Amino acid sequence: MTNNDLPFKGFNEYRNKIQFVDFLRDEDLEELNNILKWNCFVVDNNGRRFGNIAWQGKRDKPQIIPDRRILLMNEYFNLADKHILEIGCFEGIHTIGLAQYAKQVTAFDSRIENVVKAIIRCSFFGYHPNIFKFNIEEYTTNHIDLLSADIIHHVGVLYHLQNPVKHILELGEYIRVGIMLDTHYALDEQATEIYEVNGKKYHYKKYREKGYADVFSGMYEFSKWLKLDDIVSLLKESGFGQVDILEQRDERNGARVLLMAKKS
């Protein structure tokens, strides 16, 4: 299936009331779909597609808003009075879901095309979170005010980083309350490489990335997948003393975990 093969109308599941899309003429929405190279889509209240697929087997079904992990996050943290930071907003699907529940949403992505698409999609839904381009691996303490929030929505990013240990240890500097983390991790037998941070050695799995040109890849040549025990220990070291593992899953690319962590 390609973008050209994907139906425009007739979707019955996962419809959304989209404030500034539902009343658009078909030709206007089709033009919107073709202006940018969308890699996922949602369905409006009329059963029409807003966006496109990446390719067959990749984001080729309507995206659900809100994602189930946001519902779990809301149950765990009560987002109504919280400021949420979303790392890796992609094309704004989770950003919209977070905006439906949270008091304030700030989101960023390392690719400018994703930032533009997220802003546009959120705007058509009637939401206007702060969204900007930022590479989290370039973080310094000068960025604390930019990133400061109560909770971080952290899905599908950790396993794309070159230095995930440093990143986790820095989270406590700008996140006040807690974390929802969904990430791949390395099994013990897979973690055959070692690197050192602050004088301590960490085992990891080396994972080949495709670089900036592939929107589903990390920014660099390879990333490091940490072991789950180390992820939990690092979160606690960063100040998140309560770590609750909600799910462990076996997926096509490897083991994955969903956890919530709170500061002590």
Structurally, how many domains does the chain consist of?
Answer: 2
Residue 63 resides in a domain: no
Assess whether 30 and 72 both reside in one domain. Answer: no
Residue 88 resides in a domain: yes
Question: Angle at the Cα of 110 (from 196 to 113), degrees rounded to 5?
Answer: 160
Assess whether 27 and 99 both reside in one domain. Answer: no
Residue 113 resides in a domain: yes
Give the pTM.
0.96
Residue 62 resides in a domain: no
Question: What is the domain extent for residue 27?
Answer: 3-51
Q: Where are the beta strands (DSSP E) in the chain?
A: 41-43, 49-51, 83-87, 104-109, 130-133, 149-155, 175-184, 193-197, 200-208, 222-226, 242-251, 254-262
Assess whether 77 and 205 both reside in one domain. Answer: yes
Q: How far is CA 135 from CA 124, 140, 174, 175, 194, in A?
A: 26, 11, 15, 17, 24
Assess whether 77 and 153 both reside in one domain. Answer: yes
Assess whether 228 and 124 both reside in one domain. Answer: yes
CA-based R_g, the chain, Å: 19
Along the 264 residues of the chain, how does pLDDT read in single tens digits?
A: 666 679 999 999 999 999 999 999 999 999 999 999 999 999 999 999 999 998 888 899 999 999 999 999 999 999 999 999 999 999 999 999 999 999 999 999 999 999 999 999 999 999 999 999 999 999 999 999 999 999 999 999 999 999 999 999 999 999 999 999 999 999 999 999 999 999 999 999 999 998 788 888 999 999 999 999 999 999 999 999 999 999 999 999 999 999 999 998
Assess whether 125 and 228 both reside in one domain. Answer: yes
Q: Cα separation of 121 and 246, whole Å?
A: 30
Assess whether 108 and 39 both reside in one domain. Answer: no
Residue 56 resides in a domain: no
